[in-house]
Amino acid sequence: MQKSQEAAFIERISRKLGRPFPKEKPEQPVRGVPSEWMPDTFDTEQACAAFIANWTALTGKAVLLTPDELSQQLQEVIGHHQAQQVIRWDDDFLEEMNIDETVRRTGAEIRSWKEGDRRELLAYAERCQVGITSADFAIGETGTLALFAGRGKGRSVSLLPPVHIAVFPIERLVPRMTYVLTYAAKHGMSSSLNFITGPSRTGDIEGDLSIGVHGPAYVYAFIVKK
């Protein structure tokens, strides 16, 4: 539709509605995200408290831990779910937290996403009871994890096992999703950005809610403060 035709079309609609036809484009003094939605500084502790409250409200479990407490919590969760096979991201922070050693203390087998070809890793992930990832961001306002896909960070790790454990430092907490999207726009998107807000929830046409049908039924967020 040409501009003159478009203007005539809108003018006819305006007349029918009894409204004046705008002769000029309205001003937009504010563009983008308002500054109050993305301040330069924020309180990480407040973002952490909000995340824990919102994640817990969605029936997930979130705990603020020291590295030593993390080891104990991981062993308790793996033992509770009687996990025999575990898969994890190939991630520097998970390495720093000695995740492999902790898991093996329970008697479970653990492999990282880098070990083997993709088909073999997918088959192994399907057999696993627990998947362990880090998180690139955790969003306080919604209780959401943001996971960027990439080398060593297979999406299947957080999707296929019935139990998903995310282990990440408190410094990755942000108040709102705008921080995540701004970071992605600035640094370039990976092949995917996965937002996880509690366990997998599926509702059918009758309104029945099912947990864990299309993803993990049990989700844990272990926030590490050194």
pLDDT, position 220? 98
The HSE-up count of residue 30 (CA atoms within 13 Å, CB side) is 5
Position 119, amino acid: R
pLDDT band at 35 (very low <50, low <70, confident <90, very high): low
8 A C-beta contact, residue 160 and residue 105: no
105: left (phi over 0), alpha (psi -120 to 50) or beta: alpha
Four-CA torsion 219, 62, 145, 160, nearest 10 degrees? -10
Per-residue tokens: 224: 């590490």
Q: How many CB atoms lie within 10 A of CB 19?
A: 9
32: left (phi over 0), alpha (psi -120 to 50) or beta: left
Q: Which range (82-86, 87-91, 184-188) has the least confidence? A: 184-188
Alpha helical stretches, state H, the chain: 3-17, 44-57, 67-80, 92-96, 99-105, 118-127, 177-187
pLDDT band at 31 (very low <50, low <70, confident <90, very high): low
pLDDT over threshold 90, residue 14: no
- As to burial, measured by CB atoms within 10 angstroms (0-12 exposed, 13-18 middle, 19+ buried), residue 20 is exposed
pLDDT tens-digit series, residues 55-87: 999 999 999 999 999 999 999 999 999 999 999
pLDDT over threshold 70, residue 1: no
What is the Cα–Cα distance from 7 to 45, expressed in whole angstroms? 53
Q: Which residues pair with 203 in a beta bridge?
A: 209
pLDDT tens-digit series, residues 202-226: 877 767 778 888 889 999 999 999 9
